[in-house]
């Protein structure tokens, strides 16, 4: 079978780490001898063994002369685990096939160099695009130290996120809503503005079996959130960060007492400086944020340039209403030439609904 076939299998293993390895990458590996798979492995949990070591340890026969397929360039540094290049060179494997290179400055091509220098046959770039796409979050985070932000919203075909009376349950169907739940497992953080707390009082958790909930981040520049909000009442069980510009310790204290983490940041035009917030979240190793809106926060996020990708779930419904909410509000751009530009979208059908997914192009 071809290199691509085995790399595809390695990708399937990599994906099993989804939601459990952040801020590390998802990585899968497969050991193949005489066209038979003799070992498989993946990076299972943050801080634990890497894919290559797990795959080599799982081999049902000695890997002498075998080929190791791995979705990401093997590491060559001492992190929480020793270098994978050492394990590979000791294993007796004859050839290594790699998906994408590791942009981690501690690796960045050096893993491949070391293998080659020791006489290993190395093939690079097999299913490179798929391997890189799987780790778009890791690639962004390791290079910028700020989270990858996905702006997500659900709207009707006339571009409304609620009716004129503020009702939004539900716009999309079950398949679309399930996918959002999966993304809450996949992403390290979920972020909303205090307006969303007032309007919906959401829990912002992932309710799928065998999943984890993201850290909840509430932007509340003046600390107006009610202490009775569900996110505050459950802050002891699920890490909850309130981002604010308020310096008033008496206002902050009750939230802290309830188990919330209050992060005070500089303000920009009366709002939280979102770039500063992203830097602060990056320091906490939050590698990805699912931005679940409100139109005001979405506009600020776009303007501050923190959004990497947009997902619009579109339901075949029309709400009408000049005052009904839309996904991006604020003042908006002056003319069409000033629009935020997105890459040509990927289109997916989810039951009755359509998901449009697009990267934000640099201004
Ligand atoms: C691999 N295979 O399965 C993973 C890799 O602190 P550590 O030891 O876990 O190292 C983390 C870094 O190692 C991470 O930033 C990335 O560059 C690489 N992750 N490498 O060869 C794996 N998870
Ligand atoms: Zn490694």
Per-residue pLDDT band for 343 (boundaries 50, 70, 90) equals very high
Residue 275 reports pLDDT greater than 90: yes
Average pLDDT on 107-136 reads 96
Burial track 333-352 (b if 16+ CB lie within 10 A, e otherwise): eeeeeeeeebeeeeeeebee
Cis peptide before 311, with omega less than 30 degrees from 0?
Answer: no
Catalytic: which of 12, 52, 329, 334? 52
**Measured distance CA(283)–CA(251) in Å, rounded:** 25
48: alpha, beta or left? (left if phi > 0; alpha if psi -120 to 50): beta
Ligand nearest to the CA of 72: 1
Complex ipTM, two decimals?
0.90
Q: Is 52 a catalytic residue?
A: yes
**Nearest CA, atom 14, ligand 1:** 24
Q: What's residue 30's pLDDT?
A: 98
Residue 107 reports pLDDT greater than 90: no
**Measured distance CA(34)–CA(91) in Å, rounded:** 16
Question: Would the annotation count 297 as a binding residue?
Answer: yes
H-run or E-run covering 178: helix 174-186
Report whether residue 75 contacts ligand 1, using a CB cutoff of 6 Å.
yes
Report whether residue 292 contacts ligand 1, using a CB cutoff of 6 Å.
no
Report whether residue 225 contacts ligand 1, using a CB cutoff of 6 Å.
no
**Nearest CA, atom 21, ligand 1:** 74
pLDDT digits (tens, 9 = 90+) for 165-192: 999 999 999 999 999 999 999 999 999 9
In degrees and rounded to multiples of 5, residue 54 shows phi and psi of: -65, -40
Mutate to test the pocket of ligand 1, among 11, 16, 17, 25 (most ligand atoms within 8 A of CB): 25
pLDDT digits (tens, 9 = 90+) for 200-239: 999 999 999 999 999 999 999 999 999 999 999 999 999 9
User: What is the residue-wise DSSP string for 55-111?
Assistant: HHHT-SS--TT-EEEEEEPPP-S-SSS--HHHHHHHHT--EEEEEE----TTTTTHH
Report whether residue 43 contacts ligand 1, using a CB cutoff of 6 Å.
yes
pLDDT digits (tens, 9 = 90+) for 5-60: 999 999 999 999 999 999 999 999 999 999 999 999 999 999 999 999 999 999 99
**Residue 242's CB: how many other CB atoms inside 10 A?**
24
Question: Interior CA angle at 300 toward 296 and 303, to 5°?
Answer: 140
Distance of CA 234 to CAs 180, 249, 267, 285, Å?
21, 22, 27, 22
Rounded to two decimals, the pTM is 0.93
Report whether residue 115 contacts ligand 1, using a CB cutoff of 6 Å.
no
Domains identified in the chain and CATH numbers? 1-136 (3.40.140.10), 145-357 (3.40.430.10)
């Amino acid at each position: 079978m071809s290199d691509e076939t085995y790399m595809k299998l390695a990708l399937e293993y990599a994906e099993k780490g989804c939601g459990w390895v952040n801020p590390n990458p998802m990585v899968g590996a497969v050991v193949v001898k005489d066209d038979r798979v003799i070992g498989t492995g993946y990076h299972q949990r943050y801080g634990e063994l890497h894919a290559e070591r797990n795959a080599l340890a799982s081999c049902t026969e000695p890997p002498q002369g075998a080929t190791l397929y791995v979705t990401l360039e093997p590491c060559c540094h001492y992190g929480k685990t020793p270098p994978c290049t050492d394990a590979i060179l000791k294993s007796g494997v004859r050839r290594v096939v790699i998906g994408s290179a590791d942009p981690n400055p501690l690796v960045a091509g050096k893993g491949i160099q070391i293998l080659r220098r020791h006489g290993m046959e190395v093939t690079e770039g097999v299913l490179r695009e798929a391997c890189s796409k799987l780790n778009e979050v890791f690639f962004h985070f390791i290079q910028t130290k700020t989270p990858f932000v996905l702006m997500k919203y659900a709207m009707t075909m006339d571009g409304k996120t609620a009716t004129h009376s503020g009702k939004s349950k539900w716009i999309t169907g079950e398949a679309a809503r399930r996918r959002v739940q999966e993304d809450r497992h996949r992403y390290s953080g979920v972020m909303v503005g205090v307006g969303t707390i007032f309007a919906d009082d959401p829990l912002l958790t992932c309710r799928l079996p065998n999943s984890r909930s993201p850290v909840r981040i509430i932007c509340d520049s003046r600390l107006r959130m009610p202490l009775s909000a569900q996110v505050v009442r459950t802050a002891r069980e699920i890490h909850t960060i309130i981002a604010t510009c308020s310096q008033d310790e008496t206002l902050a204290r009750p939230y802290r007492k309830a188990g919330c983490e209050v992060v005070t940041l500089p303000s920009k035009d009366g709002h939280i400086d979102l770039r500063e917030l992203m830097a602060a979240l990056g320091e906490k190793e939050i590698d990805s944020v699912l931005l679940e809106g409100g139109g005001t926060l979405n506009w600020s996020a776009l303007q501050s340039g923190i959004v990497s990708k947009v997902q619009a779930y579109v339901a075949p419904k029309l709400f009408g209403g000049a005052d009904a909410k839309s996904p991006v509000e604020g003042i908006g751009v002056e003319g069409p030439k000033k629009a935020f530009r997105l890459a040509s979208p990927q289109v997916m059908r989810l039951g009755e609904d359509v998901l449009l997914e697009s990267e934000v192009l640099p201004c």
